[in-house]
Amino acid sequence: MRAALLSDPSSPLELVDDLDLADPRPGEVCVAVSHSGICHSDLTIIEGGYMVPAVLGHEAAGVVAGVGDGVSHVSEGDKVMITPLAPCGHCDGCARQQASRCTQAMSFVAGTRPDASSPFSRRGRLVHRGLGVGAFAEHTVVPASGVVRLDDDVPLEVACLIGCAVQTGVGAVLNTASVERGATVVVTGLGGVGISAVQGARIAGASRIIASDPVESRRQAALRLGATDAVGADPAELKAAVADATRGRGADYAFETAGVPGLASLGVEITGSGGTTVVVGAPPPEHTTDIGSTTVFMIQQKRLVGSLLGDCWPSRDIPLLVGLWQRGELDLESMITARLPLEGINEGFNRLRKAQGVRTVIEISPS
Ligand SMILES: NC(=O)c1ccc[n+]([C@@H]2O[C@H](COP(=O)([O-])OP(=O)(O)OC[C@H]3O[C@@H](n4cnc5c(N)ncnc54)[C@H](O)[C@@H]3O)[C@@H](O)[C@H]2O)c1
Ligand SMILES: [Zn+2]
Ligand SMILES: [Zn+2]
């Protein structure tokens, strides 16, 4: 079948038509991919060469094309959204609904099943299933627990965004931080993830949402979707805006959604007593930051926490996010700023590199 293959990190993705896909095993589902968004985590994998060869694309929706033994919650022809973190459902982590503590779910990082196999191969050689999904291909095979059935009237184009950007950004605000009504929130980095965090903060009823990004068009998008204030990436400018909005007390929450480690320490600085900084961005692991004196975590009781896929539990949170969209509280349509065919995938990544628009969606076999 056709797919965009990462075979050499220094070259563009290669369009191939001879990718092999295994039948779904027991507990797996084969999905005909309809739409797949381009997330910065895919770009980080390309540039770091962490997973080669691989089919990337982990923000996807499609139609069930086949199910393995024991799968009963979806059947052929169902519209579904795919989530990268597919919990096993019976380990200690799953008992607490924490996918990051589930070995099956966390195998997404390696781009293989927990047993190191992959449903993808080419010319007899293993091809990684990028970040648990592998959706820059006509079909993929994923664990059934990573597939959530959608109502027939939910367009697959908007549903795909929930797969990564939306559950990550909105979930970081509603699940990880539990932002309360009236809080002051800072979001640094306004791509698909940051814009989703801005929308999450609006839904939570934050009184001030200060959005920061060097790119003017992204600041404008944030203002349209819920930010009350927007500033560039100059830390001094951001500090002044936060001091002004909070009468010098500091923000209640800061979300680092750019993938710039220094923004985590800046978050700790600009949050006030009892404030929480949430690290959502995923820079290459060798990029580090100095968080300065840790006394603030004690005397001022500041908190610095991480968030993976917004702490979402698929069967609980995906329907909730779809419901927010159905009620008009979550604007997903405005986040899609470009649509390209699979052949345009490298142009899509170039748009991401240049921070053009908010999200580019690859139309694979739109239905
Ligand atoms: N935690 C998770 O589960 C999770 C899930 C998805 C994505 N991510 C990560 O989240 C980050 C954002 O992803 P995305 O797809 O929205 O990326 P994106 O490239 O579309 O957006 C990043 C934005 O950050 C801005 N930026 C860069 N430097 C900045 C600075 N100093 N201050 C403020 N803004 C700055 C850029 O201009 C850009 O608009 C990436 O690191 C990605 O890997 C994490
Ligand atoms: Zn992602
Ligand atoms: Zn588990």
pLDDT tens by residue, 175-215: 999 999 999 999 999 999 999 999 999 999 999 999 999 99
The alpha carbon of 165 and the centre of ligand 2 are apart by a number of angstroms equal to: 6
Domain with CATH 3.90.180.10 in the chain: 3-164+311-363
The alpha carbon of 164 and the centre of ligand 2 are apart by a number of angstroms equal to: 5
> Which residue in 72, 71, 70, 74 sits closest to 62, CA to CA?
74
Bridging pattern class, strands 79-82 and 147-149: antiparallel
* d(C-alpha 57, C-alpha 137), whole Å: 8
Domain with CATH 3.40.50.720 in the chain: 178-306
* d(C-alpha 319, C-alpha 137), whole Å: 25
**Ligand nearest 36 Cα, by number?**
2
Atom 32 in ligand 1: which residue has the minimum CA distance? 233
What does the mean pLDDT of the chain come to?
97
Q: Which CATH superfamily is domain 178-306 in?
A: NAD(P)-binding Rossmann-like Domain (3.40.50.720)
The alpha carbon of 115 and the centre of ligand 3 are apart by a number of angstroms equal to: 14
User: Mean per-residue pLDDT for 45-73?
Assistant: 97
- Check residue 367 and give its pLDDT: 63
pLDDT tens by residue, 292-305: 999 999 999 999 99
pLDDT tens by residue, 336-349: 999 999 999 999 99
* d(C-alpha 244, C-alpha 324), whole Å: 31
Per DSSP, the three-state class of 162 is helix
Residue 57: CB within 6 Å of ligand 1? no
* d(C-alpha 66, C-alpha 75), whole Å: 7
Residue 88: CB within 6 Å of ligand 1? no
The alpha carbon of 331 and the centre of ligand 1 are apart by a number of angstroms equal to: 19
- Check residue 159 and give its pLDDT: 97
**Ligand nearest 176 Cα, by number?**
1
* d(C-alpha 195, C-alpha 168), whole Å: 11
* d(C-alpha 96, C-alpha 94), whole Å: 5
User: Mean per-residue pLDDT for 2-27?
Assistant: 97
- Angle 345-353/40-48 helices, nearest 10 degrees? 100
Query: Binning pLDDT at 50, 70 and 90, where does residue 366 land?
Result: confident
- Check residue 355 and give its pLDDT: 97
> Could you say which of 3.20.20.110, 3.40.190.10, 3.90.180.10, 1.20.1740.10 is the CATH number of the domain covering 3-164+311-363?
3.90.180.10
Omega of the bond prior to 53 within 30 degrees of 0, cis?
yes
Atom 27 in ligand 1: which residue has the minimum CA distance? 258
What are the two backbone dihedrals, phi and then psi, of residue 338, each rounded to the nearest 5 degrees? -155, 145
358, pLDDT greater than 80: yes
